[in-house]
């Protein structure tokens, strides 16, 4: 197989979507326990011998980069609990053609890691933050709020840009806090993204119980702020509105009320080497046996091309919410 950057080879799925984005879960473990994400007492984490090591991950990312993927996000689980993440980040940014490495984190460990990750080439970060009230944050996540706020302050100083706050919008949990979060993001120069709960895995019922249609939230915010259509580079599935007269952009991620599968450009690699072709479907390719079985670089790329030919058209969270798809933390949310 020739180098795709010379041959112009691209990953195009059967629905004409160009796959340009890899979300890379470096661990399924997390130092928080958000009730809508990891079920209480969950013990089903991957065994360390099944984790792809950094050389294996780099090999897969290289194959993707040679197939036209330019954009990678480190995620999990909580990616900062995987030791040596900055080394992996450095190896990925050094790959030819790779021009965008970002991180999704809960920011609990961001303060000690931010400078090294920034120096390793991570440019943009998304931070999960569902509440600004310490007691409520503790109730949702099982952990303290202050390290997250410290991590965010440090991330600003370290020069990440943009910094996006991901807030899962939940009826009866944090639906009285959107205006506070808007003010917090305005004060700090962050972008705000509101996310609808998705019925993922056995915690999916807990998530669905608090489902909130973001179309109603948008209407509510529009009464208070003058919202004009906004754009955001690397905005992904969010539909952005800008608060007029300010730099603040608010993204609405609406997998349930208005899904965005027709523009899906991504696949996900889990820590055990499973390539998931859709967040909400089980279609997959097991890469670990191929990597450990001595597959050639060309063979690896061919397997990825064949997998992309099986990418499902869309998730069915709305039509079939009781179907148990794996947890978000196992997939790389
Ligand atoms: N630990 C990192 C973080 O906090 O961003 C990355 C992984 S975490 C699984 C990614 C995102 O998925 C978080 O923003 C989390 O709130 C969201 N998430 C987890 N389960 C969800 C669900 N059932 N519905 C909607 N969002 C969910």
Atom 8, ligand 1: which residue's CA is nearest? 333
Q: Cα-flanking dihedrals φ and ψ of residue 240, to 5°? A: -100, 145
CB atoms within 10 A of CB 284: 18
Structural domain span for residue 47: 4-331
Residue 29 Cα to ligand 1 midpoint, Å, equals 12
Place of tokens 């706050």: 165
**Non-local CB neighbours of 45 within 8 Å, separated by 6+ positions:** 28, 29
Number of structural domains in the chain: 1
> What pLDDT shows up at residue 317?
82
Pocket test for ligand 1, best of 151, 210, 328, 332 (most atoms within 8 A of CB): 328
Give the helix ranges, DSSP H, for 162-213. Answer: 178-188, 204-209
3-state secondary structure of 40: coil
Q: Give CA–CA dist 238/162, Å, rounded.
A: 15
**First vs last C-alpha separation in the chain:** 32
Residue 37 Cα to ligand 1 midpoint, Å, equals 7
- Atom of ligand 1 minimally distant from the CA of 106: 4
Residue 227 Cα to ligand 1 midpoint, Å, equals 26
Q: Cα-flanking dihedrals φ and ψ of residue 64, to 5°? A: -65, -40
The CATH number covering residue 309 comes to: 3.20.20.70
Q: Which segments of the chain have a pLDDT < 70? A: 1-8, 233-235, 322-324
Q: Give CA–CA dist 131/140, Å, rounded.
A: 8
Paired tokens of 214? 């973001």
Atom 11, ligand 1: which residue's CA is nearest? 333
- Atom of ligand 1 minimally distant from the CA of 203: 23
Residue 327 Cα to ligand 1 midpoint, Å, equals 10
CB atoms within 10 A of CB 293: 8
CB half-sphere exposure, 89, CA atoms < 13 A: 27
- Atom of ligand 1 minimally distant from the CA of 329: 9
Residue 245 Cα to ligand 1 midpoint, Å, equals 31
Residue 237 Cα to ligand 1 midpoint, Å, equals 15
Pocket test for ligand 1, best of 25, 32, 37, 124 (most atoms within 8 A of CB): 37
Contact 125, 103 (CB under 8 A): yes
pLDDT for 226-265, tens place per residue? 999 987 766 578 899 999 999 999 999 998 888 889 999 9
Contact 138, 145 (CB under 8 A): yes
Give the helix ranges, DSSP H, for 94-199. Answer: 110-119, 134-141, 146-158, 178-188
Tell me which residue of 72, 85, 96, 145 sits closest to 118, measured CA to CA: 85
Pocket lined around ligand 1, Cβ cut-off 6 Å: 30, 34, 36-37, 75-76, 78, 104-106, 128, 166, 168, 195, 197-198, 200, 207, 328-329, 333
Distances (CA, A) of 18 to 92, 228, 240, 255, 263: 21, 29, 22, 20, 9
- DSSP conformational letter for 12: B
**What is the pTM (predicted TM-score) of this model?**
0.94
CB half-sphere exposure, 162, CA atoms < 13 A: 20
Atom 3, ligand 1: which residue's CA is nearest? 105
Atom 15, ligand 1: which residue's CA is nearest? 128
Atom 10, ligand 1: which residue's CA is nearest? 333
Residue 302 Cα to ligand 1 midpoint, Å, equals 31
> What pLDDT shows up at residue 235?
59
Residue 121 Cα to ligand 1 midpoint, Å, equals 23
């Amino acid at each position: 197989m020739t180098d795709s950057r010379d041959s112009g080879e691209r990953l195009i799925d059967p629905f004409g979507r160009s796959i340009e984005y890899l979300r890379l879960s470096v661990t399924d473990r997390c130092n928080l326990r958000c009730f809508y994400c990891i079920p209480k007492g969950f013990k089903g984490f991957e065994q360390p011998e099944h984790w792809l090591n950094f050389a294996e991950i780099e090999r897969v990312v290289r194959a993707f980069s040679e197939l036209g993927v330019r954009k990678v996000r480190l995620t999990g689980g909580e990616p900062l609990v995987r030791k040596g993440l900055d080394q992996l980040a450095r190896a990925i940014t050094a790959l030819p053609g790779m021009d965008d490495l970002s991180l999704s984190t809960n920011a609990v460990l961001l303060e000690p890691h931010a400078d090294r990750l920034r120096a390793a080439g991570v440019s943009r970060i998304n931070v999960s933050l569902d509440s600004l009230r310490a007691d409520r944050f503790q109730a949702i996540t099982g952990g303290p709020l202050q390290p997250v706020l410290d991590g965010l302050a440090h991330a600003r100083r370290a020069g990440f840009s943009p910094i996006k706050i991901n807030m899962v919008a939940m009826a009866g949990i944090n639906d009285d806090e959107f205006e506070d979060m808007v003010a917090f993001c305005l004060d700090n120069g962050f972008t705000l993204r509101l996310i609808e709960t998705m019925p993922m895995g056995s915690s999916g019922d807990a998530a669905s119980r608090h489902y909130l249609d973001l179309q109603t939230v948008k209407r509510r915010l529009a009464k208070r702020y003058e919202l004009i259509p906004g754009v955001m580079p690397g905005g992904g599935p969010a539909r952005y509105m800008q608060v007029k007269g300010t730099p603040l952009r608010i993204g609405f991620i609406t997998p349930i009320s208005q899904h965005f599968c027709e523009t899906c450009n991504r696949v996900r690699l889990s820590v055990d080497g499973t390539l998931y072709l859709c967040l909400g479907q089980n279609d997959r390719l097991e890469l670990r046996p191929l990597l450990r079985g001595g597959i050639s670089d060309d063979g690896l790329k061919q397997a990825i091309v064949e997998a992309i030919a099986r990418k499902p058209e869309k998730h069915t969270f709305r039509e079939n919410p009781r179907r148990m798809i794996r947890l978000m933390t196992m997939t790389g949310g």
